[in-house]
Amino acid sequence: MGRAIDLFVTYRFIKLLVTPFEKTDAFKLGIIDEDGKRILEPGTNKPTTLRTTAEYSAYTVLHKLVFNIKKIFNKVPGLRTKLGTYAAALFLLKDTFKESVDDPDIFEKEFMKYLKEEGYEIDDAISEEVIGFGEVLPKGEYTLANDILSQEEEELTAKRGDKVAAYDDEAPIDTILGVDIFPVIHLKTQEKIYVGLEDLNQ
């Protein structure tokens, strides 16, 4: 049974990753636009309310996270500069679905397979500008070098240039795509977000 669930979730993940926004049910139902952004209620900053079973099925937590990964992917001129951001996004997927799958690394494996099939090469070299050495994120305040996904928000609220803080020296809570993942607090929203060291500037 667990293997069947793994295969189903993997299939859904990859299918969403490779399907253009305008061909998704979420687009057809008016939940997102052709760029994957939520449609807003007229005259407001609030996303349209999901009302029907079909709408809820077309925009689940999995859809939201994968759509946000795709939005980041569409901005990428070079893969290595966003690798930490992808790793943090995949960590959110892993954390969200850890109770639903037998293999918690399934998203990382499938994402790597997808990149290879699409002809992307990942350079394992570490940037000289990366803070620390991957063993710990020193206590302090940092600036985001990339947009970062949130598990709770509809859109990317943690933007490049925003301030974040580590209130203590932080050890990595996971390693995804060879990138250590650290929790930090987004100062504007006071929300915990997850980053790789290459997502931060001092």
More confident call, 108 vs 2:
108
Average pLDDT, the chain: 79
More confident call, 20 vs 84:
20
- How far is CA 188 from each of CA 86, 154, 161, 199, rounded to the nearest angstrom? 22, 16, 11, 17
SS (H, E, C) 67-131: HHHHHHHHCCCCCHHHHHHHHHHHHHHHHHCCCCCCCCCHHHHHHHHHHHHCCCCCCCCCCCCCC
Q: Which residue has the tokens 């057809």?
A: 28
pLDDT band at 100 (very low <50, low <70, confident <90, very high): confident
Query: According to the model, what pLDDT value does residue 145 have?
Result: 85
CA distance 111 to 168: 32
144-168 mean pLDDT? 79
Q: Judge residue 85's burial from the number of C-beta atoms within 10 Å of its C-beta, 0-12 exposed, 13-18 middle, 19 or more buried.
A: buried
**pLDDT higher than threshold 60 for residue 79:** no
pLDDT in tens, 138-148: 999 999 987 78
| pTM to 2 decimal places | 0.68
CA distance 36 to 27: 8
**pLDDT higher than threshold 80 for residue 182:** yes
DSSP per position, 123-176: --PPPTT-SS-SS-B-SEEEEESS-B--SS-SS--B-TT-EEEESS-B--SEEE
- How far is CA 176 from each of CA 43, 89, 102, 147, rounded to the nearest angstrom? 40, 9, 17, 18
